[in-house]
Amino acid sequence: MKRTHLGKYLYTALGIFFTAMMLFPVYWMVNASLQSGASAANTSLVPDHPTVAAYSRAFSEQLGNLGTSLLIGLGTVALTLVIAAPAAYSLAMFRVRGSRLITVALLIAQMIPGVVIANSLYPAYASLGLLNNIPGLVLADATTSVPFAVLILRTFMEAIPLALIEAARIDGASHFRAFISVVLPISRNAVITAGLFSFLFAWSDFIFALTLTTTNSVRPITLGIYSYLSAAVQNWGPVLATSVIASVPAIILLVLAQRRIAAGAFGGAVK
Amino acid sequence: MTIVNRVPQAVNEFNGGSYAGAGRPPRSRRRALRSALTPWYFLAPVLAYLLLFFGYPIVKNVEMGFQDYSTSTFYTGVAPWVGFANYSQVFHSGIFTTALTNTAVFTIGSITGQFVLGLALAVFFKRKFPLNGVLRSLFLLPWLIPLIASSAVWKWILDQDSGVLNQTLLNLHLIHTPIPWLSSPSVALLAVMIVNIWLGIPFNLTILYSGLQAIPAEQYEAGALDGATGWKAFWYITLPNLRPVIGIVLMLGVVYTLKVLDIILGLTGGGPANATQTLATESYQQSFTQFQFGQGAALSNILIVISLVFTMFYLRSQRAQTGA
pLDDT band for B7, please (50, 70, 90 cuts): very low
pLDDT band for B29, please (50, 70, 90 cuts): low
Q: Is residue B317 part of a domain?
A: yes
DSSP state of B53: I
Q: Is residue B3 part of a domain?
A: no
For A2, the domain range is 1-50
CB–CB of B287 and A122 under 8 A?
Answer: yes
Q: Which of A17, A28, A228, A270 to probe the B interface (max B CBs under 10 A)?
A: A270
Can you give the pLDDT at residue B12?
A: 34
Q: Is B214 helix (H, G, I), strand (E, B) or coil?
A: coil
Q: Judge whether B122 and B201 are in contact, CB under 8 Å.
A: no
Q: Which of B3, B13, B27, B46 to probe the A interface (max A CBs under 10 A)?
A: B46
CB–CB of A25 and B135 under 8 A?
Answer: no
Region B100-120: mean pLDDT is 96
For B295, counting Cβ atoms within 10 Å of its Cβ (0-12 exposed, 13-18 middle, 19+ buried), the class is buried
Task: Answer yes or no: do A103 and A18 share one domain.
Answer: no
For A97-127, b/e burial (b = at least 16 CB within 10 A) is eebeebbebbbbbbbbbbbbbbbbbbbebee
Touching check for A209 and chain B: CB below 8 Å?
no
Touching check for A114 and chain B: CB below 8 Å?
yes
Touching check for B84 and chain A: CB below 8 Å?
no
Neighboring chain B residues of A126 at a CB cutoff of 8 Å:
74
DSSP string covering chain A: -HHHHHHHHHHHHHHHHHHHHHHHHHHHHHHHHT-TTTTSTT--SS-SS---HHHHHHHHHHHHHHHHHHHHHHHHHHHHHHHHHHHHHHHHH---TTHHHHHHHHHHHHHS-HHHHHHHHHHHHHHHT-TT-HHHHHHHHHHHHHHHHHHHHHHHHTTS-HHHHHHHHHTT--HHHHIIIIIHHHTHHHHHHHHHHHHHHHHH--HHHHHS--SSSS--HHHHHHHHHHSPPS-HHHHHHHHHHHHHHHHHHHHHTHHHHHHHHHTTT--
Region A34-56: mean pLDDT is 75
Q: A79 CA to chain B: closest CA distance, Å?
A: 10
Task: Answer yes or no: do A56 and A27 share one domain.
Answer: no
Touching check for B287 and chain A: CB below 8 Å?
yes
Touching check for A13 and chain B: CB below 8 Å?
no
Rg (chain A; Cα; Å):
23
Residue A52 vs residue B280, higher pLDDT: B280
Region A144-173: mean pLDDT is 89
Residues with Cβ within 8 Å of residue B161, at least 6 apart in sequence:
A40, A41, B178
pLDDT at residue B212 greater than cutoff 50: yes
Region B12-20: mean pLDDT is 38
For chain B, the residue count is 324
Cα A102 from chain centroid (whole Å): 23
Q: Is residue B126 part of a domain?
A: yes
Can you give the pLDDT at residue A51?
A: 82
CA-to-CA distance for B182 and B193, rounded, in angstroms? 11
Region B229-238: mean pLDDT is 87
Q: For B53, which of A16, A139, A165 is closest by C-beta distance?
A: A139
Task: Answer yes or no: do A42 and A113 share one domain.
Answer: no
The count of CB pairs under 8 A between chains A and B is 322
Three-state secondary structure string covering A62-127? HHHHHHHHHHHHHHHHHHHHHHHHHHHHHHHHCCCCCHHHHHHHHHHHHHCCHHHHHHHHHHHHHH
Q: B158 CA to chain A: closest CA distance, Å?
A: 11
Task: Answer yes or no: do A73 and A45 share one domain.
Answer: no
Q: B192 CA to chain A: closest CA distance, Å?
A: 14
Touching check for B27 and chain A: CB below 8 Å?
no
Q: Is residue B244 part of a domain?
A: yes
CB–CB of A100 and B43 under 8 A?
Answer: no
Neighboring chain A residues of B138 at a CB cutoff of 8 Å:
19, 22-23, 254
Between the two ends of chain B, the Cα-to-Cα distance in Å is 9
Can you give the pLDDT at residue A1?
A: 45
pLDDT band for B209, please (50, 70, 90 cuts): very high
Can you give the pLDDT at residue B174?
A: 92
Can you give the pLDDT at residue A263?
A: 60
Tens digit of each residue's pLDDT (9 = 90 or more) over B280-297: 999 999 999 999 999 999
Task: Answer yes or no: do A114 and A202 share one domain.
Answer: yes
Task: Answer yes or no: do A45 and A68 share one domain.
Answer: no
Task: Answer yes or no: do A115 and A225 share one domain.
Answer: yes
pLDDT at residue B27 greater than cutoff 70: no
Q: Is residue B27 part of a domain?
A: no
Q: Is the peptide bond before A47 cis (omega within 30 degrees of 0)?
A: no
φ, ψ dihedrals at A166, nearest 5°: -55, -45
**Total number of domains in chain A:** 2
Touching check for B296 and chain A: CB below 8 Å?
yes
CATH code for position A167: 1.10.3720.10
Residue B155 vs residue A38, higher pLDDT: B155
Q: B127 CA to chain A: closest CA distance, Å?
A: 8
Q: For A243, which of B153, B164, B322 is closest by C-beta distance?
A: B153
What is the rounded average pLDDT for all residues in chain B?
85
Q: Is residue B35 part of a domain?
A: no
pLDDT band for B23, please (50, 70, 90 cuts): very low
Can you give the pLDDT at residue A271?
A: 40
CA-to-CA distance for B101 and A36, rounded, in angstroms? 42
A201-210, B26-35, B73-82, range with the lowest pLDDT: B26-35
Q: Cα–Cα distances in Å, from B283 out to B99, B174, B187, B290?
A: 10, 38, 23, 10
Can you give the pLDDT at residue B25?
A: 46
Task: Answer yes or no: do A33 and A76 share one domain.
Answer: no
Can you give the pLDDT at residue A3?
A: 55
**What percentage of residues in chain A have a pLDDT greater than 90?**
52
Global confidence as pTM? 0.88
Complex confidence, ipTM = 0.90
Can you give the pLDDT at residue A39?
A: 54
Neighboring chain B residues of A239 at a CB cutoff of 8 Å:
152, 156
Neighboring chain A residues of B280 at a CB cutoff of 8 Å:
113, 115
Can you give the pLDDT at residue B271?
A: 80
**Total number of domains in chain B:** 1
CA-to-CA distance for B247 and A199, rounded, in angstroms? 30
CB–CB of B135 and A16 under 8 A?
Answer: yes
Neighboring chain B residues of A229 at a CB cutoff of 8 Å:
148, 151-152, 155, 266
Residue B70 pairs in a beta bridge with B292
The residues in B 85-114 lying below 8 A from A, measured between CB atoms, are none
Q: Is residue B265 part of a domain?
A: yes
Region B24-36: mean pLDDT is 57
The residues in A 218-247 lying below 8 A from B, measured between CB atoms, are 221-222, 225-226, 228-230, 233, 236, 239-240, 242-244, 246-247
CATH code for position B216: 1.10.3720.10
Can you give the pLDDT at residue A88?
A: 94
Task: Answer yes or no: do A90 and A65 share one domain.
Answer: yes
Region B211-217: mean pLDDT is 89
Tens digit of each residue's pLDDT (9 = 90 or more) over A209-244: 999 999 989 999 999 999 998 887 778 888 999 999
A146-150, B28-32, B286-290, range with the lowest pLDDT: B28-32
Q: Is residue B90 part of a domain?
A: no
Neighboring chain A residues of B140 at a CB cutoff of 8 Å:
254, 261, 265
CA-to-CA distance for A107 and B228, rounded, in angstroms? 39
The residues in B 111-170 lying below 8 A from A, measured between CB atoms, are 121, 124-125, 127-132, 135, 137-157, 161-162, 164, 167
Q: Is B2 helix (H, G, I), strand (E, B) or coil?
A: coil
What is Dmax (Cα atoms) for chain A? 74
Task: Answer yes or no: do A157 and A35 share one domain.
Answer: no
pLDDT at residue B254 greater than cutoff 80: yes
Task: Answer yes or no: do A17 and A64 share one domain.
Answer: no
Tens digit of each residue's pLDDT (9 = 90 or more) over B141-155: 998 899 999 999 999
Nearest chain B Cα to A265, which residue?
Answer: B203
B3-17, B88-102, B112-126, B159-173, range with the lowest pLDDT: B3-17
pLDDT at residue B173 greater than cutoff 70: yes
pLDDT at residue B186 greater than cutoff 60: yes
For B114, the domain range is 96-323
Nearest chain A Cα to B131, which residue?
Answer: A12
Task: Answer yes or no: do A20 and A59 share one domain.
Answer: no
Closest Cα partner for A208 from A128, A129, A112, A116?
A116
Neighboring chain A residues of B296 at a CB cutoff of 8 Å:
119
Nearest chain B Cα to A235, which residue?
Answer: B156
CA-to-CA distance for B311 and A104, rounded, in angstroms? 10
Can you give the pLDDT at residue B321?
A: 61
CB–CB of A18 and B135 under 8 A?
Answer: yes
Region B26-32: mean pLDDT is 55
B23-27, B78-82, B117-121, range with the lowest pLDDT: B23-27
Q: Judge whether A122 and B284 are in contact, CB under 8 Å.
A: no
